[in-house]
Amino acid sequence: MQLKELFSTIDPNKFTSKFSAEERCLEFLANEKWDKGFVCKKCGHTNYCKGKTHFSRRCTRCKSDESATAHTPFHGCKIPITIAFQMAYQICIQPDISSYRLAEEHDIRQMTCWKLKKKISECLTQNPD
């Protein structure tokens, strides 16, 4: 997932309103992740039905359910995804932003911000696959 490219197409003034709801963030991730179509990570099947959570997809063969956040830096995130999205955006446009500043701005524990920042930064420096 090329977060930097994705986020760079979004107008900074519209970012917060665009991703103000959890559903919009999940929808965005799902659209991006499966833009070339669904392929089950477990068995390679390409047919799916709706999964358990918002925008998740369930393989119709092996029944494995993949959430919209799985295999993205937002997986297992302990803070609301809307805030995680905002932080990711800030990190994209300002990679040297400190986790202390993010913590203060969003009123989130610094260690949580540090962990998210690490994941986002790894994603930003990854080579395209």
Residue ranges in 9-48 that form contacts with Zn ion under rule CB under 5 A: 40, 42-43, 45
Biggest alpha carbon–alpha carbon distance for the chain: 46
Q: For residues 74-93, which are near Zn ion according to CB under 5 A?
A: none
**CA–CA dist 114, 129 (Å, integer):** 25
Least distance in Å: CB of 22 to Zn ion?
26
For 7, residues 6+ apart whose C-beta sits below 8 A from its C-beta are 15, 88, 89, 92, 93
Candidates 25, 30, 59, 84; binder of Zn ion (CB under 5 A) is 59
Q: Which of these segments, 47-55, 63-71, 72-80, 118-126, binds Zn ion (CB under 5 A)? A: 63-71
Count of residues of this chain found to bind Zn ion when the rule CB under 5 A is applied: 8
Which of 18/45 has CB closer to Zn ion?
A: 45
Structure tokens at 119: 């994941």
Nearest distance, CB of residue 67 and Zn ion, angstroms: 14
Find how far residue 112's CA is from the centre of its chain.
Answer: 16
Give 64 or 82: the residue with its C-beta nearer to Zn ion: 64
CB of 45 to Zn ion, least distance (A): 4
Q: Which tokens hold the place of 114?
A: 């540090």
46 to each of 32, 33, 37, 54, how far by Cα in Å?
16, 14, 7, 19
CA terminus-to-terminus distance, the chain: 8
As measured in angstroms, the least distance from the Cβ of 35 to Zn ion is 19
What residues line the site for Zn ion (CB under 5 A)?
40, 42-43, 45, 59, 61-62, 64
